[in-house]
Structure 1
Amino acid sequence: MKNVWAAGVFWLCGLTMAADPVLIGLDAEFGHKTSTSAQAIELGIEIAIDEINQAGGVLGGRPLKLITRDNRSVTAIGLDNLRELAQMRDLVAVFGGKFSPIYVESLPLVHELGLPLLSPWGSADGITSHAYRPSYTFRLSIKDEWASGAFIRFARQQHKATRLGVLLPNTAWGRSNKAALEQAAAQEKVSLVAQRWYNWGDDSLLDQYLSLKAAGAQAIVLVANEVEGAVMVRNLAALPPDQRLPVVSHWGVTGGEFVRLTGAALGEVDFAVIQSFSFVGLNTPTARRVLAAVQRKQGVTSAQDVKSPVGVAHAYDLTHLLAMAIRKAGTTDRSRVRDALEQLGPYNGLIQRYAVPFTRERHDAMSASNLFFARYTAADQLIPVVPLSKR
């Protein structure tokens, strides 16, 4: 009888052990006052986790659980958060937010810790293009290298612009774009007439803009998040109409309350922003299912109203890929999960079908073919410039 009792306790303990959650970290800019990106990434992860757990979880029935930390867009805080998360038993990987400098400046630490760092937003080339081997950074997002070529082609096709001015933040993200734009301009045979820099928190970009215009720019390539992007739009709208050049923008502005910050000024400026995903016009079963979950959780009523849609979609697909890697590894050991990410088979995701999501040489799951441009309406709806079927 004693042996039966002991066996029963062991069996019950085994069930308890099997039900212990496998942890996923998210360190993002939740405390940034105008940000919507961290919340969108969190939402995409949560929707995927719900699906994975309802289907039986991972590793014999263990549920996935999300642990969030707020880096407030400050690298030092992000590094402290990564150290804390790395101490958690059964935490397999950490997702980052939209601020590329935090990823880039975290590279030494994440490789020291052997902690997979997953990027569902940050676009700086250096996030995955670096000398650390084996690499612990994986991205399901766009690269500045791809975006730069798209900026130039869009400006030329839409605005007949072959002389471009470039406005950049004085950060790792800005420097990544500078290098990528110079290379793309040489390939596309257009002229970057001048480059001007700004700092986070600058309350006017008018001097930089006027300098670019005086240098002969026919359009402006803007690399900015929502706060400085809104400053630029307000500066332009205050000028006479014939002094306003068209703006082709990086997607940082879509990670926050850009339309609220610009107000009526946005309607006075020709402003297009690069994107990699939209629920608008997408009618696949996965898109319908995920959009329904977004509408329930985010409180929106239409595909046009989804906040920071790329964050939702990228994080959703990346979470499913991580779950596949955990199953393939058969363990929560981070080095084996890292290895498994490089060996995944096909996955039919929300954004696309990933035949081979990652390889040893390629830690970017997307490509330049995912890119398109969108415009904001006065109602804060982000609408693709061309229908999805034509992209």
Structure 2
Amino acid sequence: MIKKIFLLIVLASLMSGCSGSDNPADNRAKIALKSTGDILIGAASPWAEKRNLLWEGISMAANEINQKGGLLGGRKISIVKGDDKGDLTTGQIVAQSFADNENVVAVLGHSSSYVSVPVSIMYQYYGLVMVSPLSTGYKLTTQGYPQIFRNIPSDRIFGEKLAEFCRKKGFNNVLIYHINDDYGRGQSNAFEISALSNGLTVLDRSSYDDLSSARSFREEIKFWQDNYEFDAIFLAGVMPKAAEFVVEARKMGVTVPIVGGDALDHPKLIEIAGSAAENVYAGSVFHPDFAYPAMQEFLEKFRKTYGKEPDIAATQGYEAMMVIAEGIKNAGCTVPADIAHALHSLKAFKGLTGDFSFDENGDVVGKPMIMKVVKGGKFHLVEN
């Protein structure tokens, strides 16, 4: 707690000259109380990423809200778009631009925990609400910031559920391979702890980084083949390296299932790995075959609007925009602290896969994790 307070004090001393106020959060709240125009919401992600349909989801939700008369007696949602390029330095610049705009009351983003975790202190200090649709890094909601939320399960939840899945499938002897960053370490730590409590044996654990080559993958795989008999590999990796690892594993004759989290739920897995992606399992919160009326209604609207299939980013962006709108409606104003209080008080928000709420840390509660597997070049829903 002392460290958190110190960081906030240092940030305040560095940034107060830019804000025009000794307390930028209070200043934002005063402006929000008087505001009667459009409600400004920031949206941050690497928009140029080929797979990223987050914008389409956010935009569709905002248009629906506006077409139904807006919020608070007719005020429209207006989205301020910021491209963080998936880069921390750029993400900090984008976050500062949102913070400097005192009419912005909330931010949807960022997509990567590598960006969202460090910039969350800025949003808290400047008094914005943040809802991250795709950041699973556990640190995001363990900092004690009451205005920071996510509508996707954390790495801890994914790791625990994936270990339970391995137990149910009889993958009793597993290897762990992860990217050496907060995402990979966090999800692998949770998986390993839960694996042990589920009676699984973790034979070995190793990591890679963005500079790892096909040769380094082959060396790791050869070591495993020479020393262990394993039922599955747990892969906490991101694209494109995770797909490249899958290719090398299959080339070397590894036929056991490869199991991973939400980062494997990505079109590039199949695009890069091709047939090597067969029998790769991914934990996720989205699949078009998910039998829930709200999801099917969303799919129909999305296809009609954009003429293409949505992905996990689209559904998460849509939900994040809708949940912010619900917070504003329940708060009866656009004061960020009041919106955050309303979000913490939500009991059963009607999401695309069922009702969910937020706990005291801002983590989503009640959102189911599903499993999907690549068969015949496509992701298929794994029935429980």
- Which TM-score band applies after superposition, normalised by the shorter structure? 0.7 to 0.9
Structure 2 partner of 1:234 = 247
Structure 2 partner of 1:353 = 355
Structure 2 partner of 1:125 = 138
Structure 1 partner of 2:100 = 87
Contact 1:148–1:181 (Cα < 8 Å) also in 2: yes
Q: 1:306-321 to 2 correspondence within 5 Å? A: 306-308=309-311, 310-321=312-323
Structure 2 partner of 1:364 = 363
Structure 1 partner of 2:19 = none
Structure 1 partner of 2:184 = 174
What is the SS of the residue equivalent to 1:244?
coil
Aligned length: 347
Hey, what's the Cα distance between the residues in 2 that align with 1:116 and 1:213? Answer: 49
Contact 1:59–1:327 (Cα < 8 Å) also in 2: yes
Q: Work out which of the residue numbers 304, 307, 314 in structure 2 matches 1:299.
A: 307
What residue ranges of structure 2 are gaps of 5+ in the alignment?
1-34
CA displacement, residues 209-266 of structure 1 (integer Å, 9 cap, x when unaligned)? 33344452331000112201210121022123xx433200112132452211112332
Q: CA distance change for structure 1 residues 282 and 209 in 2, over 3 Å: closer, same or farther?
A: same
CA displacement, residues 134-186 of structure 1 (integer Å, 9 cap, x when unaligned)? x221111022212112222222332x222211111111111212321232123
% same residue = 20
Q: 1:1-391 to 2 correspondence within 5 Å? A: 18=36, 20-32=37-49, 35-36=50-51, 39-130=52-143, 132-133=144-145, 135-158=146-169, 160-204=170-214, 205-216=217-228, 217-240=230-253, 243-267=254-278, 270-282=279-291, 284=293, 286-300=294-308, 306-308=309-311, 310-354=312-356, 357-359=357-359, 361-367=360-366, 370-379=368-377, 381-386=378-383, 391=384
Q: CA distance change for structure 1 residues 27 and 108 in 2, over 3 Å: closer, same or farther?
A: same
What is the one-letter code of the residue matched to 2:345? Q
CA displacement, residues 289-313 of structure 1 (integer Å, 9 cap, x when unaligned)? 311222134423xxxxx342x2222
What is the one-letter code of the residue matched to 2:222? L
Hey, what's the Cα distance between the residues in 1 that align with 2:211 and 2:128? Answer: 32
Hey, what's the Cα distance between the residues in 1 that align with 2:80 and 2:153? Answer: 25
What is the one-letter code of the residue matched to 1:258? L
Hey, what's the Cα distance between the residues in 1 that align with 2:157 and 2:351? Answer: 21
Q: CA deviation at 1:80?
A: 1.0
Hey, what's the Cα distance between the residues in 2 that align with 1:307 and 1:224? Answer: 22
What is the one-letter code of the residue matched to 1:342? H
Q: CA distance change for structure 1 residues 211 and 94 in 2, over 3 Å: closer, same or farther?
A: farther
Contact 1:95–1:117 (Cα < 8 Å) also in 2: yes
CA displacement, residues 311-370 of structure 1 (integer Å, 9 cap, x when unaligned)? 22222222222111112333322222222221235332222123xx224x2422234x71
Aligned alpha-carbon RMSD (Å): 2.2
Q: CA distance change for structure 1 residues 346 and 370 in 2, over 3 Å: closer, same or farther?
A: closer
Q: CA deviation at 1:73?
A: 1.2
What residue ranges of structure 1 are gaps of 5+ in the alignment?
1-16, 301-305
Hey, what's the Cα distance between the residues in 2 that align with 1:201 and 1:136? Answer: 36
Contact 1:27–1:69 (Cα < 8 Å) also in 2: yes
What is the one-letter code of the residue matched to 2:295? A
What is the one-letter code of the residue matched to 1:148? G
CA displacement, residues 69-118 of structure 1 (integer Å, 9 cap, x when unaligned)? 11111111111100101222431211114322212222332222222221
Contact 2:269–2:277 (Cα < 8 Å) also in 1: no
Hey, what's the Cα distance between the residues in 2 that align with 1:58 and 1:249? Answer: 40
Structure 1 partner of 2:13 = none
Hey, what's the Cα distance between the residues in 2 that align with 1:30 and 1:329? Answer: 30
Runs of 4+ in 1 over 6 A off after TM superposition: none
